[in-house]
């Protein structure tokens, strides 16, 4: 029985989908870590009855913030960290404590368009396809080994908003399932759909 913590900075729609998906599982989303007081993810955690912990990154070293997170994770007996819109780079020091146990979702076909505006960059690129990537986290920005990718055509005649919505739908559909497979240690190679 694995205990998972989700890390989010903002809306938390992926957090919610994960929490709902794992409701009937032997594994559990046991904790939300958030770093912005106004993160809507926190409200979602309250409605879902999931414990949440705020960790500040303001006016202190990242190392201090991460040490605090590690303590909270230890106390909650967390096995796996699931990043879902967490707008911080995780240090190698932190990763040593959870080696191979931190995963992330990114709204582009990595290695294309890492960083904070993956959807916009895909849209503006002129590429005919966009998509999502779920990957293990390493010290880089969206660079770790890829577990899963799936794509959709970029239909520019339908506008950016629709593209963005379709990307989020992909995330909501696939992230819970892929996290479940990861928890069950079913990954022997990347799945590129």
Return the closest-CA partner of residue 2 out of 67, 106, 97, 82.
82
Separation of alpha carbons 170 and 167, rounded Å: 5
CB of 52 to ligand GRF, least distance (A): 14
Residue 148 has phi, psi (to 5 degrees) of: -155, 140
Identify the burial level of 72 via C-beta atoms within 10 angstroms of its C-beta, where 0-12 means exposed, 13-18 middle and 19 or more buried: middle
Pick from 44, 53, 171, 182 the residue near ligand GRF by CB under 6 A. Answer: 171
Nearer to ligand GRF, 84 or 136 (CB): 84
Stretch that binds ligand GRF, among 5-13, 52-60, 88-96, 145-153 (CB under 6 A): 5-13
Q: State the minimum distance, in angstroms, from the CB of residue 4 to ligand GRF.
A: 15
Residue of this chain nearest to ligand GRF (CB atom): 85
The answer to whether residues 31 and 42 touch, using CB atoms and an 8 Å cutoff, is no
Q: Position of tokens 């290695």?
A: 111
Q: Site for ligand GRF (CB under 6 A): which residue of 44, 101, 106, 166?
A: 106
Which string of x and - marks every residue 7-36 that binds ligand GRF (by CB under 6 A)? -x-xxxxxx---------------------
How many Å separate Cα 3 from the centre of its chain?
Answer: 16
- Nearest approach, Cβ of 84 to ligand GRF (angstroms)? 5
Q: Nearer to ligand GRF by C-beta: 67 or 88?
A: 88
């Amino acid at each position: 029985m694995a205990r998972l913590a989700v890390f989010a900075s903002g809306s938390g729609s992926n957090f919610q989908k994960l929490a709902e998906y794992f409701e009937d599982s032997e594994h559990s989303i046991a904790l939300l870590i958030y770093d912005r007081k106004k993160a809507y993810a926190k409200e979602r955690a309250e409605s879902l009855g999931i414990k949440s912990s705020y960790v500040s990154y303001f006016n202190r070293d990242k190392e201090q913030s991460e040490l605090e997170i590690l303590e909270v994770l230890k106390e909650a007996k967390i096995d796996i960290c699931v990043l879902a819109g967490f707008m911080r780079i995780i240090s190698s020091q932190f990763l040593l404590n959870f080696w191979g146990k931190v995963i992330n979702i990114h709204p582009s076909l990595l290695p294309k368009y890492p960083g904070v505006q993956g959807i916009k960059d895909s849209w503006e690129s002129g590429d005919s396809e966009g998509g999502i990537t779920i990957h293990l986290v390493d010290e880089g920005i969206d660079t770790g080994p890829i577990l899963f990718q799936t794509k959709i055509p970029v239909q520019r005649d339908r506008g950016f908003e629709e593209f963005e919505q379709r990307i989020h739908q992909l995330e909501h559909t696939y992230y819970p399932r892929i996290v479940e497979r990861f928890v069950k240690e079913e990954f022997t190679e990347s799945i590129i759909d």
